[in-house]
């Protein structure tokens, strides 16, 4: 069995529902011991992709290798069930048993499970441990589903939108747990449409839009470098301010001016970081060009900005 294989390798994955192509040649790689976030708007195909990786859906094309094992080979299924944890978006929990019984049942399916009680405590579920699943709130069920995914101490865990619908306190508890799993060396593949979740937790982010990967890298790589953002004052147009600023900065050819999203951005032509000295240069140039009312700031692009730049659409919008 290969030991240097990545936690997950997806190559040219394709899936259609009826006559609709939902995953259209998607390839990604998640390294062992890392947290890989699959980030994309609602409907981008994240769940479909992850369910193909979990063995819950049969792809129409492409290959999936999990921990170096071919996902489509039936003989690998028992081993993958032991070594991989899965948290489904809808929970997939039986409704009649009590929460603790579900968790202990799942734990017994694994070779070396962790203890149920500390996990319930960590996820704020101790008080409802003896409550039947059907009487748990949506957020409590979701946390129980997370507990079930990790109680077997799997090498790789798939978390499909683990914090969707949770209140801020429960969300922080889940993030905390996910961080400590990652620190303990578990490989994690997490889908999310929350930019902050990807930004704060992930070693690497795979950005998915309309069924394929549009970018992949560390959060820093995807965000790009700090730039100076000029908010155009009322009565002026971004194009006019950019043109005036470009002329005023002509003595500094490394500073490149462009219009983006209604603002004027100044970047390093060679891709380097801008600093406060560059900010001062831009502010002085704006004053010289007669745009004294413009607001200038050193800005670090967010993943939201990166997504907008890549797709021309906002992350929080439904995929068309
Ligand atoms: N079983 C199904 N039958 C038909 N269409 C489906 C099915 N499951 C998903 N779809 C459609 O496929 C597209 C991708 O859905 P998917 O759930 O994979 O996206 P997603 O990125 O996970 O979105 P979300 O963040 O909302 O969960 C959506 O348009 C969805 O309506």
DSSP structure class, residue 98: B
160 token code pair? 């499909």
Closest alpha carbon to 21 in 211, 191, 208:
211
Q: What is the pLDDT of residue 90?
A: 67
**Which residue, judged by its Cα, is nearest atom 2 of ligand 1?**
17
| Nearest-atom index, ligand 1, CA of 48 | 18
- Of 15, 16, 43, 317, best ligand 1 pocket probe by most atoms within 8 Å of the beta carbon: 43
Distance 46 CA to ligand 1 centre (A): 8
Distance 43 CA to ligand 1 centre (A): 5
- Asked whether the beta carbons of 95 and 134 are under 8 A apart, the reply is yes
| Nearest-atom index, ligand 1, CA of 319 | 29
Q: What is the pLDDT of residue 126?
A: 95
Contacts of 298 (CB under 8 A, 6+ apart): 226, 227, 228, 229, 274, 275, 276, 278, 279
Strands 204-209 and 187-192 turn out to be unpaired
pTM for the whole structure: 0.83
Distance 85 CA to ligand 1 centre (A): 21
Q: Residue 247 in 3-state DSSP? A: helix
Distance 48 CA to ligand 1 centre (A): 6
Phi, psi of 222 (to 5 degrees): -70, -35
244 token code pair? 């005036």
Q: What interface predicted TM-score (ipTM) does this complex get? A: 0.95
- Of 46, 190, 317, 320, best ligand 1 pocket probe by most atoms within 8 Å of the beta carbon: 46
Contacts of 200 (CB under 8 A, 6+ apart): 175
Q: What is the pLDDT of residue 301?
A: 79
Distance 171 CA to ligand 1 centre (A): 23
Question: Which residues form ligand 1's pocket by a CB distance below 6 Å?
Answer: 17, 22, 40, 42-48, 193
Q: What is the pLDDT of residues 175-218, one digit of tens each?
A: 999 999 999 999 999 999 888 899 899 999 999 999 999 999 99
Phi, psi of 157 (to 5 degrees): -130, 135
Q: Give yes or no for residue 319 having a pLDDT over 90.
A: no
- What's the pLDDT band for 13 if we cut at 50, 70, 90? very high
Q: What is the pLDDT of residues 71-117, one digit of tens each?
A: 999 999 999 988 999 997 766 788 999 999 999 998 888 878 888 99
- What mean pLDDT, rounded, does the chain reach? 90
Distance 37 CA to ligand 1 centre (A): 18
N- to C-terminal Cα separation, the chain = 42
Q: Give yes or no for residue 295 having a pLDDT over 60.
A: yes
Q: What is the pLDDT of residues 253-292, one digit of tens each?
A: 999 998 887 889 998 888 778 889 999 999 999 999 999 9
Q: What is the pLDDT of residue 194?
A: 86
């Amino acid at each position: 069995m290969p030991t240097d294989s990545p936690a997950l390798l997806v190559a040219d994955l394709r899936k259609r529902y009826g006559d609709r192509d939902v995953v259209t040649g998607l390839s990604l790689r998640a390294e062992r011991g890392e947290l890989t976030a699959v980030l994309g708007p609602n409907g981008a195909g994240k769940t479909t992709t992850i369910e193909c990786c979990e063995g819950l859906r049969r792809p129409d094309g492409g290959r999936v290798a999990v921990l170096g094992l071919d996902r489509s080979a039936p003989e690998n299924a028992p081993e993958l069930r032991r070594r991989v944890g899965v948290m489904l978006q809808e929970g997939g929990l039986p409704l009649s048993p009590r929460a603790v019984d579900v968790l202990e049942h799942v734990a017994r399916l694994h070779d070396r499970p962790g203890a149920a009680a500390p996990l319930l405590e960590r996820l704020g579920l101790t008080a409802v441990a003896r409550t039947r699943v059907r009487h748990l709130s949506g957020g409590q069920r979701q946390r129980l589903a997370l507990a079930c995914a990790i109680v077997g101490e799997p090498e790789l865990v798939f978390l499909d939108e683990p914090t969707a619908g949770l209140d801020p306190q429960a969300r922080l508890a889940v993030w905390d747990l996910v961080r400590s799993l990652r620190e303990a060396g578990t490989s994690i593949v997490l889908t999310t449409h929350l930019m902050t979740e990807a930004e704060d937790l992930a070693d690497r982010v795979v950005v998915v839009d309309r069924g394929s990967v549009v970018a992949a890298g560390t959060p820093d790589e995807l965000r790009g470098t700090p730039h100076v953002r000029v908010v155009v004052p009322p009565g002026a147009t971004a194009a006019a301010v950019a043109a005036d600023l470009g002329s005023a900065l002509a003595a500094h050819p490394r500073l490149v001016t462009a219009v983006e999203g209604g603002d004027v951005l100044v970047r390093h032509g060679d891709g380097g970081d801008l600093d406060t000295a560059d900010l001062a240069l831009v502010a002085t140039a704006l004053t010289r060009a007669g745009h004294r009312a413009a607001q200038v700031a050193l800005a670090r692009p967010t993943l939201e900005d990166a997504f907008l730049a890549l797709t021309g659409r906002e992350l929080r919008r439904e995929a068309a």
